[in-house]
């Protein structure tokens, strides 16, 4: 588990969307194909979030869970950047570019 307090976060303590980038990239290396919901849920589960943050919902009924929504923004940006590929809607797999970026990050942060 990752200590969420070590990540970039908003004033309420919730990790920002970009704090999920490395988490999702790491998770994507663990199996060949993920659904978007699986990746977002797994990313939130990687964090040691207290229940009040883990269960926090937007005021709008259309937005849902804040943590999963932020993980979704990171997922989208990783796809746009070419680190993830979506063979069909709602499914994701890591690209070679994503694998190389993850390996480089691990090497730099040893």
CATH code: domain of residue 23: 1.10.10.10
Query: Higher confidence at residue 106 or residue 46?
Result: 46
Q: Identify whether the C-beta of residue 26 lies closer than 8 Å to the C-beta of residue 102.
A: yes
Instruction: Write down the pLDDT at residue 6.
Output: 92
Neighbours of 53 (CB within 10 A): 17
CA 82 – CA 60 distance, rounded (Å): 31
Domain of 56 in residue numbering reads as 4-108
Instruction: Compute the average pLDDT of residues 100-106.
Output: 84
Contact 83, 95 (CB under 8 A): yes
pTM metric for this prediction: 0.89
pLDDT, one tens digit per residue, over 1-30 is 899 999 999 999 999 999 999 999 999 999
Q: How many domains does the chain have?
A: 1
78-104 burial by CB neighbour count: b if 16+ within 10 A, else e?
bbeeebbbeeeeeebebbeebeebbee
- Between 76 and 60, name the one with better pLDDT: 76
110 pLDDT band (50/70/90 cuts)? low
Beta-carbon count within 10 A of 77 CB: 16
Q: How confident is the model at residue 51 (pLDDT cuts 50, 70, 90)?
A: very high
What pLDDT, on the 0 to 100 scale, is given for residue 107? 66
């Amino acid at each position: 588990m990752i200590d969420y307090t070590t990540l970039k976060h908003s004033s309420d303590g919730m990790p920002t969307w970009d704090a999920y980038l490395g988490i999702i990239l790491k998770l994507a290396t663990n199996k060949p194909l993920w659904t978007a919901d699986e990746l977002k849920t797994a990313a939130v589960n990687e964090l040691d979030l207290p229940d009040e943050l883990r269960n926090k919902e937007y005021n709008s009924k259309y937005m849902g869970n804040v943590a999963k929504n932020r993980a979704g923004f990171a997922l989208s940006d990783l796809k746009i950047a070419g680190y993830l590929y979506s063979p069909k809607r709602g499914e994701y797999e890591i690209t070679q570019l994503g694998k190389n970026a993850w390996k480089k990050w691990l090497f730099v942060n040893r």
